[in-house]
A and B are shown apart, each in its own frame.
Chain A
């Protein structure tokens, strides 16, 4: 049976792991290598490394960190941040990434998804979407790593996710901005709707605060993974503890 994945995310800024609330007010929460190794050893099913200001700073994710993280973990490694071209992707893969995740550059130039997918295979291309509910509709935001540059792309979240799938994305990560860093639960409603419409894996992100949030997510949606940051960084939940409880509640995770 395919296991449901628990995925810690390292949001990185200036060589440190940071975490904010709703993508703002980031504070340093730890060291990159310490956290990467700890999560790998504790049973994380994948690790995401996200250079959060790469796109808004017009640069690509820092390669030397990718290589260092890759050397201390034994689990799949997804890297994100300012990957704009085939050459960028190539160097990120050869530094040690298994998958790359693209966000703002794909919104600037959707054809990038097609080109990356045909060059590297769709299974290694993740499209990450920052989705904000404005009271009426879910809209895609871009340049979310820098609060002063953050803006709506005017696209509807579901339209963009389906377009990304059609263009060759192998997985979608949906960051629910209204829930980000709040630790009050995933946006189960939005995730359930999107997961039922996609033919590729959907990973939930934003809002994890307790074991029950993970239980609700997996019981009520078809997502195949849950990404979380602050609950793990702040020690609210431990990975082994979380997975044990999920398993005992009938949720198929890897122990």
Chain B
């Protein structure tokens, strides 16, 4: 596992260092990159994201990454905005996204406090999913978002509830997305990242 080359794709967001540090703690030597060449040399890709959907998609376009990301055989993990970018479209800036998941990203609406910010647990965890090995409804993860991915079978493998349920973890073949920040979620988050590193395609 230690030799697994993970590329953190520097796109659309600003905070890549926390993902970098978390992977380093797991004994990995990740690269943070904007280059498609580096992504091609990697064994797995992480698409992090802090920022807004419109700007992030624009940046993926400028980096000519869209077709490349759509045709992956490698494990791909989208985090937070990165997960939303893997979906069909987002209500944020009315953005067409990568469309790997036929899912819509919707704005969280009041009367609840928005953003959904803080530590929350999953209310449903699909069994037998490699990304969720050892994870149950008692684990807490750090969420910070104003938009969320709708729920649809068979893609939604982890569901969270904040005055209404949404997809906290999604999967389609080798593509994974998590709405929370595993790199900021203490020991529970490290379980997810470790599981991701162990996924074989």
A-B contact count (CB 8 A): 110
Q: How far is the CA of A71 from the CA of B19 in the complex (A)?
A: 10
CA distance A122 to B162 in the complex (A): 18
Segment among B36-44, B58-66, B117-125, B166-174 that sits at the interface with chain A: B117-125
User: A89-104: which residues lie under 8 A (CB-CB) from chain B?
Assistant: 89-90, 93-99
In the complex, the chain B residue whose C-beta lies closest to that of A222 is B113
- Name the contact of A1 in the complex, choosing from B15, B117, B121 (C-beta under 8 A): B121
**Segment among A20-28, A74-82, A230-238 that sits at the interface with chain B:** A74-82
Q: Could you list which residues of chain A lie within 8 angstroms of chain B, going by C-beta atoms?
A: 1-5, 40, 45, 67, 70-71, 74-77, 89-90, 93-99, 118-124, 170-171, 198-201, 224-225, 254
Task: Determine whether the beta carbon of A224 is less than 8 Å from that of B113.
Answer: yes
Q: Which stretch in B94-102, B149-157, B177-185 binds the other chain? A: B177-185
> Which residues does chain A contribute within 8 Å of B16, judged by CB atoms?
94
CB of B17 closer than 8 Å to a CB of A: yes
User: Are A76 and B142 also in contact (CB < 8 A) when A3-B120, A45-B118, A97-B15 are?
Assistant: yes
Q: Which residues of A contact B116 (CB under 8 A)?
A: 2
Q: How large is the interface on B (under 10, 10 to 19, 20 to 34, 35 or more residues)?
A: 35 or more
Residues of A within 8 A of B201 (CB): none
What residues of A have a CB within 8 angstroms of the CB of B17 in the complex? Answer: 67, 70-71, 94-96
Q: Does B134 contact A (CB under 8 A)?
A: no
Query: Which chain B residues lie closer than 8 Å to A198 at the CB level?
Result: 113
A199 x B113 contact (CB < 8 A): yes
Q: Is the CB of A5 within 8 A of B51?
A: no
Candidates B25, B52, B184; contact of A75 at CB < 8 Å: B184
> Assuming the A-B contacts A5-B119, A225-B118, are A76 and B21 also in contact, with contact meaning beta carbons closer than 8 angstroms in the complex?
no
Are the CB atoms of B162 and A124 closer together than 8 Å?
no
B5 within 8 A of A: no
Q: A1-B161, A3-B119, A98-B18 are in contact. List 7 more A-B contacts (CB 8 A).
A: A3-B140, A71-B17, A74-B22, A93-B14, A98-B50, A120-B50, A170-B115
Known contacts: A67-B17, A74-B185, A96-B17. The answer to whether A121 contacts B119 by CB under 8 A is no
B190 at interface by CB-CB < 8 Å: yes
Is the C-beta of B114 less than 8 angstroms from some C-beta in chain A?
Answer: yes
Note all chain A residues with C-beta closer than 8 A to B115. Answer: 122-123, 170-171, 200-201
Interface flags, B136-163, vs A, CB<8A=1, else 0 = 0000101011100000000000000110
Q: Which residues from B are CB-within-8-Å of A170? A: 115, 117, 146
